[in-house]
Amino acid sequence: MPHFVSPAKREQRPGGFTLVEVLVVMAIIGVTTGLALVAYEAVGRRGALQSAAFELQGVLGTARTRAASVGHPVWVVFYPAGGRGTLSTGNGAFLVVEDRQSAFARNPRGLFALPFTVDASGGTGGVSAIFYLEDYGKKVRFGALTPGSTDEFGAPFVGLAVQTCSFCAGTDGPSGAMGFYPDGSARFVDGTGRWISTTNQSLAFSSTQGRDQYLFAISGPSGYMATFSSDQT
């Protein structure tokens, strides 16, 4: 008697996937993973920059309020190219200095001779805190992506030019300082010890990949500070 194979059985195939199906799935996984990594990198970059910017914002705000409460100037000294063991090849650093006897208010040049060491003794004028931008995963540096631009700041700093550090100067790596006084005002001095008379000054942080920047503007007469985020992506 003839043996017939049913159509259903004739169309059956071994379980599993074909090579083409496997390759398609692998391609989809590869594309998805690549997109996820790009997004993760962007989030990490912006997160590090934002954290550094918020820390500087907090330091400046604290220095201003502390000067008013303790009755002596409090300085923030900036080294835009500083780092651990260097003044010229780092991502940037800044120091907080207590000027208990107002010595630096009389002769600010001494600010730039202070060692990168926290003065635990509480002397007449010593470094109370040190911050290195390299600590943010080496993703943040001092630097303006749009130097000279005058349309990045809002009120009351409209027209202020974007600069990495508008009051910094010096030959062994630029530096500058901002002093907050008990009356609420702020004064600026460059790394040579020269007072800067211009009313408003600016600073900038950026990502080391050169895609995002965070801008700071400070008013001398009032000590008021504002921050502006500028995404270049």
Confidence at residue 93, expressed as pLDDT on a 0 to 100 scale: 97
pLDDT band at 192 (very low <50, low <70, confident <90, very high): very high
pTM for this one?
Answer: 0.80
- Average pLDDT over every residue of 158-172: 93
| Percentage of the chain exceeding pLDDT 90 | 69
Bridge partners for 206 per DSSP:
141, 213
Q: Does residue 52 register a pLDDT over 80?
A: yes
Please give the residue that has the higher pLDDT: either 36 or 226.
226
- Average pLDDT over every residue of 220-233: 80
Confidence at residue 75, expressed as pLDDT on a 0 to 100 scale: 97
Q: Does residue 89 contact residue 78 with C-beta atoms inside 8 Å?
A: no
Please give the residue that has the higher pLDDT: either 34 or 186.
186
Q: Does residue 231 register a pLDDT over 60?
A: no
Domain ranges across the chain: 20-231
The 10 Å CB-count burial string (b at 16+, else e) for 3-32 is eeeeeeeeeeeeeeeeeeeeeeeeeeeeee
- Minimum mean pLDDT range among 77-86, 111-120, 140-149: 111-120
